[in-house]
Structure 1
Amino acid sequence: MYSVTFDNVRKSFGSVHALDSASFNITRGSCTAILGPNGAGKSTSINIMLGILKSDGGEVEVLGTTPHEAMAKGRVGAMIQSNSGVGVPAQIRVGELISVMRKLYPRPLSYKEVIELSALEDLEARRTDRLSGGEAQRLSFA
């Protein structure tokens, strides 16, 4: 079974053809990279997979359903490429932020699991505005 099926997907923005019959499958449990030069349609493909954009044609399936349904059911998540810290109060500590964010989910992982999975064990007491770029990305992941 595939987690994602992209079959002859098309998307245009006016006269710009971002995707022209793009096809690929992502196998369940795999780690997949989408590589290409600027303007190749990478971000457009991801935005379609996340239900943020609708394709102009072709078939897109995520976890056996439409991208929008998969996202609405909380079956899919995404981490943005860069983290500017927008929306995160500078005075909050890493551990405090994780504790607050866990409360937003119906069945969150334990605090300890989140900290370990994101390799933040040594940073729980650090203020979010004192994190390096990589540490901030791990916090975003958490």
Structure 2
Amino acid sequence: MDENQGLLAVDAAGLRKSFGSVRAVESVDLRVRPGEIVAFLGPNGAGKTTTIDMLLGLSDPDGGAVRVFGESPRAAISHGLVSAVLQTGGLLKDITVRETLALTASLFADTRPIEEVMQRAGISDLRSRRVGLCSGGQQQRLRFAMALLSDPGLLILDEPTTGMDVEGRRAFWSAIRADAARGRTVLFATHYLDEADEYADRIVLMSRGRIVADGSTAEIKNLVSGRIVRATLPGADPARLAGLPGVDDVEFAGDRISIHTKNSDAVARHLLTETAARDVEITSQNLESVFLALTSEGASA
């Protein structure tokens, strides 16, 4: 990986891709530096997977260009510079975990030792198990081990923990985080916002085929101003609350209210002095509220 440190891991400019009359990706610019862990977020249909397909050379852009460590995606893959962990496919159910890795290693001129990648992916104890008997989470960790064989500088993960239980997700991300600490670049698409919040150095948010936000988790959260005031208030008057200074939105869940506001002090003061509200809390915007605010209109495009 070291000889590629002076090059951008991903350098994409003006990427466009349409399927018939549907514009899946429109003028996407994306640059990822070596060693970054980047979360790629967006609602279904935002263009994440289409963009990833172009980064991997699985699909050619209609316009724009992409380079991976200075090479075309297909060349970068053939040279072992980039690997991917996708959601499904690519596994033979009737051979063992170790046999799967040996078969994959035979496709490359030079690979990391099989025992090493099994240990780094947390599947050493599964070496003799047939793939078909592995759980979904174990199969994803096997795909991770397969991706590590060529010692790629860039690892791309497309919704890697879909369908996993909480324990499986935790084990998978523990393996990814330990490997990323060695300096590998990681770009992952996920619909689990907590994964992005916890594991990413940087978040890229797509909506309707375009990148609508790009920055650190803190920077992304600051894109939506205001705070959320929550309280328990039986019989709350929606119109009265919505009319308070700086209030953008009021949500109800039984007796519990959530007020999105640019003036949290005024709202809290009103609740505490003019109503019977109790259990009043003031919190900053979280990643979910920012995600919804930036992608809610036309999210199905």
- What one-letter code is carried by the residue in structure 2 that aligns with 1:74? G
Q: 1:88 aligns with which of 89, 92, 104?
A: 92
What SS is found at the alignment partner of 1:20? Answer: strand
Cα 1:133–1:8 change in 2 (3 A) is: same
| Higher helix fraction (1 or 2) | 2
Pairing 1:35-114 to 2, within 5 Å after superposition? 35-83=41-89, 87-90=91-94, 92-114=95-117
| Aligned-residue identity in percent | 39
Count of aligned pairs between the two proteins: 139
| Higher strand fraction (1 or 2) | 2
Q: 1:121 aligns with which of 124, 128, 134?
A: 124
CA shift, 1:87, in A, is 4.8
- Say if 2:9 and 2:69, in contact at 8 Å, map to a contact too: yes
| TM-score, structure 2 normalization | 0.43
Residue 132 of structure 1: aligned partner: 135
Q: 2:33 aligns with which of 18, 27, 33?
A: 27
Cα 1:73–1:108 change in 2 (3 A) is: closer
Note if 1:8 corresponds to 2:24. Answer: no
What SS is found at the alignment partner of 1:65? Answer: coil
Instruction: Write the distance in 2 (CA, Å) between the matches of 1:53 and 1:115.
Output: 30
Instruction: Compare 37-46 and 73-82 and name the one that shifted more.
Output: 73-82
The gaps in structure 1 that reach 5 residues or longer are none
- What one-letter code is carried by the residue in structure 1 that aligns with 2:65? E
Instruction: Compare 57-66 and 68-77 and name the one that shifted more.
Output: 68-77
- What one-letter code is carried by the residue in structure 1 that aligns with 2:31? N
Instruction: Please list the CA deviations of residues 45-83 of structure 1 after superposition, one character each: whole Å capped at 9, or x if unmatched.
Output: 011111111111123111112223222333221111235
Instruction: Please list the CA deviations of residues 2-50 of structure 1 after superposition, one character each: whole Å capped at 9, or x if unmatched.
Output: 2101222111111111111111211112122211011111011011111
- Say if 2:93 and 2:130, in contact at 8 Å, map to a contact too: no
| Structure with max Cα Rg | 2
- Say if 2:91 and 2:131, in contact at 8 Å, map to a contact too: no
Instruction: Write the distance in 1 (CA, Å) between the matches of 2:141 and 2:42.
Output: 25
Instruction: Write the distance in 1 (CA, Å) between the matches of 2:85 and 2:105.
Output: 16
- What one-letter code is carried by the residue in structure 1 that aligns with 2:41? L
- What one-letter code is carried by the residue in structure 2 that aligns with 1:113? E
What SS is found at the alignment partner of 2:23? Answer: strand
Root mean square deviation of aligned Cα: 1.7
